[in-house]
Amino acid sequence: MPAFNDTIRKVTTGTIAPVYLLAGGDGYLEDFFIGEVARHFLSEGSRKQVFSLDDDRAEQVLAELNAYGLFQDRQLLVVRQVQRIKGAVREELLTYIVNPNPDKCLLLVMEDYQPTKGLQKSLAKSIPVVDTRPPFPDTLRSLANYYAKQKGFVLRSDALELLIDLIGDSAGHVMSELDKLFTQMEMGEAVTRELVEAQVCPDRSFQLWHFQEAVARRETGQSLRICVSLMEYGTQSTRIVGSLSTLFCQLLFIQTGTNMERGYTGLNKLVTKQLRPMRRLYTPAETTRILRKLRATDVSLKSTSIASDQMLIALVAGICRGIG
């Protein structure tokens, strides 16, 4: 499978496939890829449609794909939760991608990356798969440099390494901090290590990786203190839960001996070093229970009116003290 950055380079030169599968769940990478395809595929007057099969019917998507107009404009269709397609509709989709309409670009989005299973395996036989898992460090470096260049700035390598060490838990976080830096700079200027040291969250006592590190060490008081600080400084509750999911997923991979692609953790270097000592503090059964609890909490945060701060405090305390 081509690397994410290689696929982006093809898109920016106008080499765009009629159908892609985006698999991996990193929201920033999904939005970035969709944005680049829209910018290079659509022309003035063209339209983009977004479907989510949580709410929309799969039949609507197929009807739109098979619709032809007298004067056909280019069209971009983004379909999320595509794993929900079943039965005859699924077979129709697989038939379509063998002979797609070249005036339409279809982006199928799945949260999980499982190229050898189910629908994803069937799709991968016919269309390019774009890996949207939280990126490898090399991919993140390349993406950040591309992003800075597109915005008209230079990103020094030592500044980027510091950014990744501080906030490299997601591509979105790194690009968000770059955007903040760009607003203080003149076009063409370089982002330096000194600027990053001075400007990246100078008033915030803690970063998400501090929180992951404290939970990895099972330090209840410190974990709660950092969690509260993060919420006070505007970190979204779902992002805090996501950081824990990443941490415990990586721990479970180590505990079960699952083979991971070399260099990939989704964590920064400092937290990654805590994974092996962390094995002695959390049993595999406990890690599995925690991951189930994190998934349930994520659903509750998105679907209920319970105060998120209360929910998170109870969650973090339960993890550090032991979820029964």
pLDDT above 50 for 220: yes
Identify the pLDDT of residue 192. 93
Nearest residue to 22 (alpha-carbon basis) of 56, 57, 50, 62? 50
Tokens of 174: 């790194």
Identify the pLDDT of residue 262. 47
pLDDT above 90 for 173: no
| Fold type of domain 208-321 | Zinc Finger, Delta Prime; domain 3 (1.20.272)
Express each pLDDT in 77-108 by its tens digit.
Answer: 999 999 888 889 999 999 999 999 999 999 99
**DSSP H/E element including 49:** strand 47-52
Asked if residue 74 lies in contact with residue 40, where contact means CB atoms within 8 angstroms, the answer is no
| Fold type of domain 137-199 | Helicase, Ruva Protein; domain 3 (1.10.8)
Identify the pLDDT of residue 103. 92
Mean pLDDT over 178-183 rounds to 89
pLDDT above 60 for 203: no
How far apart are alpha carbons 265 and 249 in whole angstroms?
Answer: 9
How far apart are alpha carbons 267 and 247 in whole angstroms?
Answer: 7
Express each pLDDT in 158-171 by its tens digit.
Answer: 999 888 877 776 78
Q: What percent of the chain has pLDDT over 70?
A: 93
* CATH architecture, range 4-131: 3-Layer(aba) Sandwich (3.40)
| DSSP 8-state symbol, 125 | T
Q: Which residues pair with 22 in a beta bridge?
A: 109, 130
Q: For residue 21, report the phi and psi dihedrals to the nearest 5 degrees.
A: -110, 125
Q: What percent of the chain has pLDDT over 90?
A: 45
* Angle ∠(192,193,194) on CA atoms, nearest 5: 90
pLDDT tier at 128 (50, 70, 90 boundaries)?
Answer: very high
Mean pLDDT over 214-229 rounds to 91
* Dihedral of the alpha carbons of 239, 243, 245, 248, in degrees to the nearest 10: -170
HSE-up of residue 316 (Cα within 13 Å, Cβ side):
30
**DSSP H/E element including 191:** strand 190-191
Average pLDDT value over all residues in the chain: 87
- This prediction has a pTM of 0.64
Nearest residue to 211 (alpha-carbon basis) of 221, 201, 202, 203? 221
Q: Which residue has the tokens 């839960």?
A: 241
- Sign of the dihedral through C-alpha 90, 91, 94, 99: negative
For the chain, what are the domain ranges?
Answer: 4-131, 137-199, 208-321
